[in-house]
Chain A
């Protein structure tokens, strides 16, 4: 991945910008909340939802414990079905493989289904550099591509765009009439996209699941464009992250039940495609099917006993929709393709902690994400783990308004907290000092970090005139 495309350490600045953008606040407030409430009602209909999550978690653990076995089994079965398997250790290798397949197929254009992995490896840039035009066919991705933008959500890429934004984009790029009726906007996009499917020799997709037992690539979607991308062109390429494996065909039902309800609040998405090899005689479908299995940092994550749980993620987006921080700051603040609580875990794994050391701190650790995660990833616990990794490997910048580095402040604090006399003395000094700033028990503008950051947006209660320990003498002598 190129250096400048990961801007995660600017999450604080980005979040301040997002909060000041009323338009963005409206878009996230309504869309993320809608997905959140849809999920709530969809999940409440399923008896045994918790058992289903337990089962999915156990299956994911099984896969990660034996990933070598399941990958080999999957690859064998893809080849048995007549497909071709490619292995890519890095983003660059994955892009090169796709480019070569496209060149062999004589493709100057590629129709693309929504795939976060292609965003991760920056496939569009690589293809464009080789003179091949990638054409996004997912409505959200299509909008994002027209806008020259990036997905702001792993399931709903254009969540940050309102219908008015979309109309403006279509007027500008597709010369359509302005409209803010969603059905009409969809129809405009559909007309622009339809002709592409028929004329383009190569279709590219991701995978929601890859079934080892049968060599099947599974995709779920609502628009039908993935089915078009994977069946209409002569060649189909599926980009598959190696964590997408599930052991058996029968396990698929567990994940399909969880994914639709968690992601969009649907029992099942409108289309579920099971792609098992290229077309056979008398069938429709692509003549060639290529499966590109991509590592790009996943094996390193697998080797990290604590963080490997991140690979369990099935990219439903429920943690984004439920996250009160994501809802305020939006996807772009996270500075890379994966956003929200899961993005704060994935990005440091794949892009390195140095480029994303601020992400794990952008959370109140409320734990709402863990409650909704369909595979029960302990997100707040992993965020805490990454915070300590960040502090060990990439020291925190000095907080503005603080005379000390964060680590020095924390050491001083810990020193005092181990010595009740120092703690008491520190509190007395603060009590003395606050007389200059406190009015009627409140401080409106504190002079020193961290209190100065506190009072930027809220008042700070003054320290009580007497601490509990000072009052304890009276308390303990009264009654009892």
Chain B
């Protein structure tokens, strides 16, 4: 546990992500449950919406900057900002400096945010120094490395450490586990056929492991994969890592 805040609980502000807010609120609830279990005070600022990535990713930088500017003022009173998404965390950590390049005032705010911003699994393992969060999940689980989490943030071992510490879980690796699932943000609707073809490969690889659950840390990838699994009628369910870690 962090000792940076003697005498009180560390205060974590959630960046819940727009997909998490509207499609998968149970992910956010699970994040809250896990963090509280670890003695963290959790806050949520309802002034938040989106990190701006859809616009940035599609080349609309002015629009992305306008949306991202709103994020920079949301979390002034928090010790940490935690997002259950590798992709949104990448947007804020890796791409905000590029988006606000040349704007010293906004860059100072970006730096203040980046210093406190963590993706959920990295926050647990690297900040709270916890691997066993007290979860139990008696199922066979395949973990999918989402690309932004893996390549922009370099988070590969943290989710696996957390999964390995879950009681009664059986963790299996996917063949070609670093291969993209095909989501890609607006790519999914600009090149839907390619996106789907890539995703079909991924869901088949997951089904081939005999896993009951396909777990990842990004709601975008999970929405895409869940949609493919449902369309194909595969005997497989998707789950965000936070949801799994919240099970007791």
Contact = CB atoms under 8 A, between A and B. Distances in A.
A464 B25 contact: yes
B178 A368 contact: yes
B193 A15 contact: yes
Contacts of B199: 458
A455 B189 CA distance: 9
Interface secondary structure of B, over-half rule: helix
A475 B44 CA distance: 10
B106 interface: no
B47 A420 contact: yes
A451 to B, nearest CB: 8
Interface secondary structure of A, over-half rule: helix
A457 B196 contact: yes
A364 B59 contact: no
Interface string A434-458: 0000000010100001100111111
Contacts of B213: none
B52 interface: yes
Interface in B147-163: 147-148, 151-152
A364 B184 contact: yes
B46 interface: yes
Interface stretch (A46-54, A63-71, A139-147, A387-395): A387-395
A418 interface: yes
Contacts of B44: 468-469, 472, 476
Interface string A390-416: 111000000100000011001101101
A366 B29 contact: no
Interface in B133-148: 147-148
Given A366-B180, A366-B184, A458-B224, A468 B230 contact: no
B29 A468 contact: yes
Interface in A10-54: 12, 15-16, 19
Interface stretch (B60-68, B75-83, B109-117, B240-248): B60-68
Contacts of A458: 196, 199, 224, 227-228, 230-231
A408 B125 CA distance: 42
Contact of A467 (B25, B56, B185): B25
A449 B52 CA distance: 19
B178 A365 contact: no
B194 interface: yes
B180 to A, nearest CB: 4
B25 A410 contact: no
A203 B10 CA distance: 72
A381 B47 CA distance: 30
A460 B49 CA distance: 21
Interface string A325-341: 10011000000000000
Nearest to B24: A464
A282 interface: no
A417 B67 contact: yes
Contacts of A304: none
A173 interface: no
B46 A370 contact: no
Given A19-B193, A368-B178, A480-B36, A442 B187 contact: no
A468 B147 CA distance: 25
B49 A325 contact: no
Contacts of A87: none
Interface in B91-114: 95, 98
A463 interface: yes
Contacts of B98: 381
B192 A365 contact: no
B50 interface: yes
Given A361-B190, A461-B226, A475-B32, A368 B22 contact: no
Nearest to B146: A366
A328 B198 contact: yes
Interface string B48-60: 1110101111111
Contact of B185 (A365, A388, A410): A365
Interface in B19-33: 20-26, 28-29, 32
B49 A417 contact: yes
Nearest to B226: A461
A345 to B, nearest CB: 14
Contacts of A459: 226-228, 230-231
A453 B189 contact: yes
Contacts of B20: 468
Nearest to A416: B49
Interface in A464-480: 464, 466-472, 475-476, 479-480
Nearest to B228: A458
B229 to A, nearest CB: 9
A12 B190 contact: yes
A367 interface: yes
Nearest to A329: B194
Nearest to A440: B230
A410 B195 contact: no
A462 to B, nearest CB: 8
A386 to B, nearest CB: 8
A220 B63 CA distance: 47
B55 A456 contact: no
Interface in B167-214: 178-180, 182-199, 201
Given A391-B59, A417-B52, A328 B189 contact: no
B223 interface: yes
B70 interface: yes
B191 A463 contact: no
B16 interface: yes
A427 B22 CA distance: 7
B61 A460 contact: no
Q: Which 8 residue pairs of A and B lie closest in terms of their CB atoms, listed nearest first?
A: A364-B184, A387-B59, A457-B196, A366-B180, A458-B227, A414-B63, A367-B151, A468-B25
15 contacts: A360-B59, A361-B186, A364-B182, A364-B198, A418-B70, A423-B18, A453-B188, A453-B190, A457-B195, A458-B228, A458-B230, A459-B228, A468-B16, A468-B21, A470-B25
Given A19-B193, A368-B180, A381-B98, 7 more contacts: A362-B194, A364-B198, A366-B180, A368-B178, A413-B54, A464-B26, A468-B44
Interface of A: 12, 15-16, 19, 324-325, 328-329, 360-368, 370-371, 381, 384, 386-392, 399, 406-407, 410-411, 413-414, 416-418, 420, 423, 427, 442, 444, 449-450, 453-461, 463-464, 466-472, 475-476, 479-480
